[in-house]
Structure 1
């Protein structure tokens, strides 16, 4: 019988497929006590499952490159640490040896104990970290089942077309996508989570907050995910299937229409030219950016060079990588962001920083680079040498005050002098800009502009810091809001300061590539956007239908709004009038 569920749209599109349920919170285990002569064999069985889970995470970590390594790696590392947690392991062994629990029952009991601890916490963020426990224990449980029988191994290896789960870990999202995944339905989750961002990058329709998904959908049910209306149809009717086929035809036509915009100028309805850049970190991104008609690379993430191998890349290796990017863009400008790693990833790159409780607020970005001037200078030298093969700019991440920009400029001058003495050909000029993602930098942007040739606003982190809301925390989904009036005022302040100083400013966060936010950003005065290359055509299409003058006139009233609803109403009324 047909059933319709609703949820929040995390990634648009439609998909039709068989449901595959993942229920990490539901464990069916054998509670029969072990006999004394079975204990040691059960301990071996348990540790084999733990080893299997560790190996799965290790192999998945090795498969990830570029954006996935950056976005998903943290979660894999956190889960790996949990699997090596001595308190967890001792507790499991004790339950088997002393309590004579079977491995599955011990895992379930330990999971329930830990879940109760997290549920009792008052801090919403810490409470939400209980999901990590569920996902790790669920992975070990699956490993136990894989060892149980050939039939269970066969079932466990099946990857469904439509994944239905409570929440989907970014690591699993990346893994399933490589095995034919068509869409995702989550009974919980946030539209701003890393998994949602990955789904949009993969063009996978995804709904979150579908409350009855796990109880209303059974494994192998035919499911239609409608990421246009925010609906999940279980056992779709002939009418539903006809609507899906109609959408497929329209999507194909829309794709062909957008393809014609690939090399068209980005110009508003009243003739104002805007610039669309691409975010990139590997050769496939460069090729896609060129094919979609990007105006250049607005954010080239250099840290992938430091993460794709153990140890530090040398100056020559970096030079070749940067040179190839510039050549690949055929003379279009390329903005290379210097190393943006925190203490949580610095060790993998061969840099040692003492353990930090909160790496997001620790020694990362330019703070890390300035602590390792030799490593930083090698990167600056490589960028300067590559600069003769095109137009390159240097972007400095995690800037807090103008003194950091002054220190970077000093290192660039020194690197330039050293290279000249060594006989290297160098570009006459390289612009150096600051990434505005720290509230202090946004508030004190005028002093930073005195030491910068341009600005790039990183809204992913800026929004988290301004709103004190982790975008991956479901409990804070209502707070992490790109249309929050406070964030609008911060953005408006930074963009206005750069315009008054006569210096370029771009925005390279997630909202730059979302057509929903394009009117707001244009109203605030933004003229340069940088986004995933796959989003270029949709944003170009949206911007070409906007009236620049009308939106700019709206800016003063927008930044005076006190609620998100007021912001949306102002934009809606203005767009309807025009």
Structure 2
């Protein structure tokens, strides 16, 4: 039966695949008492589900190969033994016959009973094997509840997998993609999380905040996800599949049209040159940035080097990664951001911090670096060594006071002096910039600007801190608003201060790559954007259809607006200035799920 699950689009695009539940033990349990007349049929249902679960395990075991085959096979065999255990099967039968429990409720009771036995064991290893019970019961529940038709299962067998989970760690995304995962449906998560950012880099559709996904989806269900609208369709109909195929054709035509812009200038109708840089965190992003005609790398997130391991990478490892980045851009400017981790992620990078009640307001970004000066010096040395291979800028995150900038600059100078003494070839001059993502930094920028060579506006966090809204809290999604009057005034103020002091300013938050905001940002005076590489051509197409002079005349009305309705009216007028062909392309609604 066709089912629509709503969420929030975190990584654009669509994907069709079979669901793979990371926690398949979560199921809706029917506790309605079973009538005597239905007992026989319910016994058949549970026996069929057990048989299907055994067959699935056998199929998995037959496909095993490689160095991990033996280890994985041991777990599969253990699950098979549980399914074949007469005590386990008879217990289910007795609950259905004598207790008049429906099959799903009987499975839950068996699970609770067996888990309690394992948890009471003294041996830690034996206690840990309760997970086997969870997995086995989950597999049987999935087989019991599966609603797919024979035709649907045939189609699902020919497509890749869609991972369904509460969350997914950034370090897990690459191996999952390499093993055929086509997209992600998360019950939690945020559109601005590290995982979402990385999913966009990998061009993997992701839907977050789909709260009912684990309860309503089963392993093997055919699902269609729309990373633009945030909709998920379980058991899509022929009409849904036709819409998906049409979306694929539309994207191909759109890509073909935009491909002509890869070598084109990014310039408004009245001749204002706009620089479109790329955000990056891996080698694939660098290649895509070059292929889409990026003006450079406006933000390289170094924390992904740290998140993929348990210990902090050394100077040589970091240097090689940064050097390859600089060489890969072939002389175009590269901005490398120093480590931007907080207490919630620090332990995964080999950094030990005490738990903080509110990591977003705690020791993160430059604060963490200054508390670990050797870690910071190691990273600065690695970055400085790359300046001999191309133009490199150093960007410091989470700055809130001028003293932090002064301290970092002193460390940079000390590292440079030391490297020159060691005979390292580094540039004579290197630019140091600050991320403006804390309201205090934006407000105090006038007194801070002399210590900076450039500025980058990080709107993801600037919105969060200005509005006191946790960007990872699904319950506050409607309050997280980049068009709030206070946020717009801070952005406009930052751009104005930089222009008056002749300092380059780049906006590298998510709104930089959202064409809904392009006209507004140009109207506020922004000429440098940094975004996901895959969005460059789309934004270039829009920029080339805008008149910067007209937008700048309208912009003061935007800053005078006192509520969202007034801001929306000005935004509509700004967008009306772009050519009709681009307006239609930008405003095209997502596939109706």
C-alpha spacing 1:460/1:209, structure 2 compared with 1 (3 Å):
closer
- Indicate which of 167, 170, 179 corresponds to 2:168: 170
The 1-side partners of 2:361 and 2:257 are apart by 44
1:335 counterpart residue number: 335
2:380 counterpart residue number: 380
Q: Which of 209-218 and 265-274 deviates more?
A: 209-218
Deviation at 1:454, TM superposition (A): 0.4
C-alpha spacing 1:356/1:255, structure 2 compared with 1 (3 Å):
same
Q: Which of 532-541 and 485-494 deviates more?
A: 532-541
Deviation at 1:471, TM superposition (A): 1.7
C-alpha contact (below 8 Å) 2:25/2:141 kept by paired residues = no
C-alpha contact (below 8 Å) 2:17/2:222 kept by paired residues = yes
1:245 counterpart residue number: 245
Q: Deviations over 1:293-343 (max 9, x none)?
A: 211111122233444444443333333332222222111111111222223
Matches within 5 A, 1:351-500: 351-500=351-500
Q: Deviations over 1:447-502 (max 9, x none)?
A: 12111010011112221111111122111010112222221111111111111111
Provide the aligned length of Structure 1 versus Structure 2.
478
Q: Which runs of 5+ in 1 are unaligned?
A: 31-100, 110-138
DSSP 3-state at the match of 1:530: strand
The 1-side partners of 2:223 and 2:319 are apart by 49
TM-score by length of 1: 0.71
C-alpha contact (below 8 Å) 2:142/2:218 kept by paired residues = no
- Indicate which of 118, 126, 135 corresponds to 1:146: 135
DSSP 3-state at the match of 1:477: helix
C-alpha spacing 1:400/1:153, structure 2 compared with 1 (3 Å):
same
C-alpha contact (below 8 Å) 2:340/2:366 kept by paired residues = yes
Bigger radius of gyration among the two: 2
Matches within 5 A, 1:100-249: 104-105=111-112, 143-147=132-136, 168-171=166-169, 174=173, 177=177, 179-182=179-182, 197=197, 200-205=200-205, 224-225=224-225, 239-249=239-249
Deviation at 1:436, TM superposition (A): 0.9
Cα RMSD of the aligned pairs, angstroms, is: 4.0
1:64 counterpart residue number: none
2:279 counterpart residue number: 279
The 1-side partners of 2:462 and 2:485 are apart by 14
C-alpha contact (below 8 Å) 1:20/1:161 kept by paired residues = no
DSSP 3-state at the match of 1:278: strand
C-alpha contact (below 8 Å) 1:306/1:312 kept by paired residues = yes
Q: Which runs of 5+ in 2 are unaligned?
A: 32-107, 117-127, 147-155, 579-593
Q: Which of 234-243 and 510-519 deviates more?
A: 234-243
Deviation at 1:445, TM superposition (A): 1.0
Deviation at 1:143, TM superposition (A): 4.1
C-alpha contact (below 8 Å) 1:266/1:275 kept by paired residues = yes
DSSP 3-state at the match of 1:562: coil
The 1-side partners of 2:139 and 2:350 are apart by 42
Deviation at 1:399, TM superposition (A): 0.8
DSSP 3-state at the match of 1:535: helix
The 2-side partners of 1:108 and 1:455 are apart by 55
